[in-house]
Amino acid sequence: MKVCLISAPTANQLGHRAVGGMDAARIMGELAPVGILSLAAVLEEKGLQPEVVDLNRVYYEWLQSSDQKGTTAEADFCRFAGSWFADRHFDFLGLSTVCSSYPLTIRIAGELKRLHPESSVALGGPQASVVDLSTMRAYPFIDLVVRGEAEQTLPQLLETLDSRSSVASVPGLTFRQGGEVLRTPDAPLILDLDSLPFPAFHLFPDVRFCRHFPMELGRGCPFACTFCSTNDFFRRRFRLKSPEHMIAEMRRVKHTYGINSFELVHDMFTVDRKRVVAFCEALLACDEKFYWGSSARTDCIDEELIELMARAGCRGIFFGIESGSARLQKIIDKGLDLKDSAARIQYCDKFKINTAVSLIAGFPDESMNDLQDTAAFFMDSLRYDHADPQLSILSPLADTPIQKQHKASLVLDDDIADMSYRGWNQEPEDYEMIAAHPQIFSSFYSVPTPFVKRDFLKELRDFVLNGMRMLRWLFVGLHQDAGNIVQVFEQWQRWRAENEPDFSADGRTAYYAHRKFPVDFLRFVQQRYIPVHSKASAAMTALLECELAALGYSDEVAGGGNKESDDDELLPESRLALFPGVRLIKLKADFQDIIQRLRQKRPLNQASETPVMLAIRKNGSGSAEVHQLSPLSAELLGLCQDNWTVEEMTAEFLQRKIEIPGVPANLVCLAGIEMLRQQRFISLA
Ligand code: B12
Ligand code: SF4
């Protein structure tokens, strides 16, 4: 039997112009569909030779074909995908599904059935599994849905299809019979995950470009958060691969691909503390070093465990915090103690574990106070260098308690809800499907939010996400000074309405992602926020001036100096200059003290008002690095700005008696110049 397993499209970022071939390969590698590859390995064990098609790669080829010719070879990606399969014949075509690209996947399935009416077209994965009946009723070209974990059921199904027997005996299946769509009982769970073979990564060549290799660590979370779909999918049965099995798989990846950093897939790894400890201890006893990340709840992890995990190579933890409001924590059945959550994030920061702090806004019961609490949690996490707060708007995933509760009142926003924001771009055909079938595509809808306007929510999300990216410390400062960033957001909206009456909500997300947003926003801080609202204007002015200097920058990236002259010996007549891309600014308050206060949440209005000088430069990734200079470095760089020679500078130091106790002024000057050259603040003019 010829079998093809097709991944769900997930690499929506491929359409971005800046993504080149290597970046694309890395993105696709890191999105390797672990589920499909696990199934392919099981089929290989049974003697089949399944093919795996990565739809992300097919999509990338389609984008490339359009780039070269100026127009797309096929205007429609579905047709392009179809043409890709036109000459390839399979008896069974199985497509994996995820909510964000479900309309597109169904359209592709339709195209495949049109081209190969004799093949069985089946869907599997988290989305089709829960909307199986409605999908098959709405789309007659889908022959089958395989629900839930499929390592046991798929081989059974293929055998049954091959022998042309009735599929009604295969568990976990939704199928057609006499014009009806029927379900067989759910398939049993796979309790011993160690019994599964090593996933068929050899059928997915892009995996070798990964920075963080995806490996399954286990399945199932016993909790019951009302917005979550994955707990029910794995039937809340917590399972973990044994440390020996995991380490053997990690070794195999390292030896095959030379990669020792892993994204260990599990919805909630730390349910059973003893087993986490056993895994970490096994890693520590291992003769090879592995780095890894996984997900946890902040109430199922403690300081001692975090420390052990860090020692065992943990470099990242995904924490679903969801809401910063204690009231909502109870309503959504998450039940986290938020003080503890904040403490765990801080502890991870101490051990240099990166944390994704995932927050959701737009719960149906959310009040303005709840929203402010969530925004506050977001902003407070920003104080930690290793924390990466994320803010999404609630999407009612199919078959979740929240979706079921609100299924009669789901709203389809004009900009196709929020899934398209982080998910797949929706074509007009997709939109028609979404609009016609709210139950199948509920994730594109929103639940009513009676206490907070939806537009307000969406703009607030754009505001904080881009603010954090472009103006991090100013945003933290505004949040602390004003008491809550949401108040600043409202003041900004009012100011913008007065000053930019033509602002339209249509291009809002693009506006916030563009440089125009920080330019306008800094004007607001300067003209309105500091004079009218600030309680710590000296500190806020210093933060503002630093951002203004960073923004007013040319695009020149530091590091582009003349390598030869950088290595040249310093001579008395050498003329000095600031290193290309370095800019100096004077502030009337101590920037370091301000940042320290923000990190520790200490009052900003008591920040030291000692004037300081900052050197700002852009680093390779395009963000600005800010360095507060010692008085001596400030003096030297000030003179370099005026292109003085070494001789002139030492003379100036001697005359002004700038010395360190016991070291003569000319030597202080020379040593300082040498040090600043090494740090790439000074170069020869
Ligand atoms: C890793 C991951 C990601 C990765 C990418 C994964 C990838 N390969 O592309 C990233 C971080 C990018 C991601 C993003 C998103 N994700 Co995600 N993700 C996961 C996660 C944690 C693990 C997936 C995995 O590998 N599972 C392990 C394997 C073994 O399970 P599996 O994939 O389900 O496969 C089994 C079965 O489903 C079945 N099966 C699967 N496919 C097929 C196909 C056939 C033919 C058959 C017969 C059977 C079958 O057999 C497999 C073996 O048993 C899951 C949660 C989870 N634990 O599964 C969420 C999950 C899939 N993600 C989810 C969501 C919502 C998203 C986002 C939309 C979130 C967002 N708003 O940003 C985005 C969308 C991405 C996009 N651009 O379109 C939801 C999907 C819910 C739904 N109803 O579809 C899940 C279930 C989590 C949740 N919140 O409930 N995700
Ligand atoms: S803890 Fe996480 S995985 Fe578990 S039910 Fe809640 S949101 Fe879902």
Helix H or strand E encompassing 285 = helix 273-285
Coil/strand/helix, residue 73: coil
Q: Is 263 in the pocket of ligand 1 (CB under 6 A)?
A: no
pLDDT band at 656 (very low <50, low <70, confident <90, very high): confident
Which among 219, 227, 229, 230 is the best mutation to test ligand 2's pocket, defined by most ligand atoms within 8 Å of the CB?
230
Q: Is 466 in the pocket of ligand 1 (CB under 6 A)?
A: no
pLDDT band at 653 (very low <50, low <70, confident <90, very high): confident
- Ligand lying nearest the CA atom of residue 225: 2
**Segment 371-392 mean pLDDT:** 97
> Which atom of ligand 1 is found nearest the CA of 230?
90
pLDDT band at 426 (very low <50, low <70, confident <90, very high): confident
Q: Is the pLDDT of residue 557 over 90?
A: no
Return the residue whose CA atom lies nearest to atom 1 of ligand 2: 223
Q: Is the pLDDT of residue 633 over 60?
A: yes
Residue range 56-79, pLDDT digits in tens: 999 998 888 875 555 555 568 898
Q: Is 320 in the pocket of ligand 2 (CB under 6 A)?
A: yes
Q: Is the pLDDT of residue 566 over 70?
A: no
- Ligand lying nearest the CA atom of residue 323: 2
The pLDDT > 70 percentage for the chain reads 94
Q: Is the pLDDT of residue 256 over 60?
A: yes
Which among 1, 10, 233, 441 is the best mutation to test ligand 1's pocket, defined by most ligand atoms within 8 Å of the CB?
10
Question: For all residues of the chain together, what is the average pLDDT?
Answer: 92
179: left (phi over 0), alpha (psi -120 to 50) or beta: left
Please tell me the predicted confidence (pLDDT) of residue 643.
84
Return the residue whose CA atom lies nearest to atom 83 of ligand 1: 127
Question: Is the C-alpha dihedral spanning 577, 579, 580, 585 positive or negative?
Answer: negative
**Segment 208-232 mean pLDDT:** 97
Q: Is the pLDDT of residue 21 over 90?
A: no
The pLDDT > 90 percentage for the chain reads 80
Q: What residues are paired with 660 via a beta bridge? A: 663
Which among 6, 42, 98 is the best mutation to test ligand 1's pocket, defined by most ligand atoms within 8 Å of the CB?
98
| CB within 8 Å of 70: residues ≥ 6 apart | none
- Angle between helical axes of 665-678 and 631-641 (0-180°, round to 10): 80
> Rounded to the nearest whole angstrom, what is the distance from the C-alpha of residue 335 to the centroid of ligand 2?
11
Q: Is the pLDDT of residue 307 over 50?
A: yes
**Segment 540-569 mean pLDDT:** 73
- Ligand lying nearest the CA atom of residue 222: 2
Name the DSSP letter for residue 207: G
Q: Is the pLDDT of residue 565 over 60?
A: no
> Rounded to the nearest whole angstrom, what is the distance from the C-alpha of residue 618 to the centroid of ligand 2?
39
Which among 30, 100, 142, 266 is the best mutation to test ligand 1's pocket, defined by most ligand atoms within 8 Å of the CB?
100
Strands (E) across 272-346 are located at: 291-296, 314-322
pLDDT band at 559 (very low <50, low <70, confident <90, very high): low
> Rounded to the nearest whole angstrom, what is the distance from the C-alpha of residue 523 to the centroid of ligand 1?
43
Q: Is the pLDDT of residue 424 over 50?
A: yes
> Rounded to the nearest whole angstrom, what is the distance from the C-alpha of residue 336 to the centroid of ligand 2?
11
Please tell me the predicted confidence (pLDDT) of residue 420.
46
Q: Is 358 in the pocket of ligand 2 (CB under 6 A)?
A: no
Q: Which residue has the higher pLDDT, 660 or 186?
A: 186
Q: What residues are paired with 177 via a beta bridge? A: 180
Quote the CA–CA distance of 102 and 53 in Å, as a whole number.
17
Q: Is 158 in the pocket of ligand 1 (CB under 6 A)?
A: no
Please tell me the predicted confidence (pLDDT) of residue 68.
53
Q: Is the pLDDT of residue 413 over 80?
A: no
Global pTM value: 0.94
**Distances in whole angstroms, Cα of residue 146 to Cα of each of 40, 132, 154, 214, 239:** 15, 9, 7, 23, 21
Q: Is 105 in the pocket of ligand 1 (CB under 6 A)?
A: no
Q: Is the pLDDT of residue 392 over 80?
A: yes
Quote the CA–CA distance of 627 and 324 in Å, as a whole number.
33
Q: Is the pLDDT of residue 634 over 90?
A: yes
Lowest average pLDDT, out of 2-6, 103-107, 323-327, 655-659, goes to 655-659
**Segment 372-385 mean pLDDT:** 98
Structure tokens given for 297: 């709840």
> Rounded to the nearest whole angstrom, what is the distance from the C-alpha of residue 217 to the centroid of ligand 1?
14
> Rounded to the nearest whole angstrom, what is the distance from the C-alpha of residue 306 to the centroid of ligand 2?
20
**Segment 355-373 mean pLDDT:** 97
Which among 217, 219, 221 is the best mutation to test ligand 2's pocket, defined by most ligand atoms within 8 Å of the CB?
221
Please tell me the predicted confidence (pLDDT) of residue 419.
47
Q: Is 268 in the pocket of ligand 2 (CB under 6 A)?
A: yes
Q: Is 267 in the pocket of ligand 1 (CB under 6 A)?
A: yes
End-to-end CA distance of the chain: 72
Question: Is the C-alpha dihedral spanning 57, 63, 65, 67 positive or negative?
Answer: negative
Q: Which residue has the higher pLDDT, 552 or 518?
A: 518
The alpha carbon torsion through 328, 330, 334, 340 (nearest 10 deg) reads: 90
Please tell me the predicted confidence (pLDDT) of residue 421.
47
Please tell me the predicted confidence (pLDDT) of residue 622.
73
Please tell me the predicted confidence (pLDDT) of residue 29.
96
Q: Is the pLDDT of residue 415 over 60?
A: no
Quote the CA–CA distance of 119 and 595 in Å, as a whole number.
63
Q: Which residue has the tokens 């977001």?
A: 378
Q: Is 38 in the pocket of ligand 2 (CB under 6 A)?
A: no
Q: Is the pLDDT of residue 563 over 80?
A: no
pLDDT band at 422 (very low <50, low <70, confident <90, very high): very low
| Phi, psi angles (nearest 5°) of residue 124 | -150, 180
**Segment 163-178 mean pLDDT:** 97
Please tell me the predicted confidence (pLDDT) of residue 317.
98
pLDDT band at 35 (very low <50, low <70, confident <90, very high): very high
- Ligand lying nearest the CA atom of residue 154: 1
Q: Is 223 in the pocket of ligand 2 (CB under 6 A)?
A: yes
Max intra-chain CA distance, the chain: 101
Quote the CA–CA distance of 113 and 359 in Å, as a whole number.
40
Lowest average pLDDT, out of 224-238, 395-409, 548-562, 644-658, goes to 548-562
Please tell me the predicted confidence (pLDDT) of residue 18.
67
Please tell me the predicted confidence (pLDDT) of residue 67.
59
Q: Is the pLDDT of residue 568 over 80?
A: no
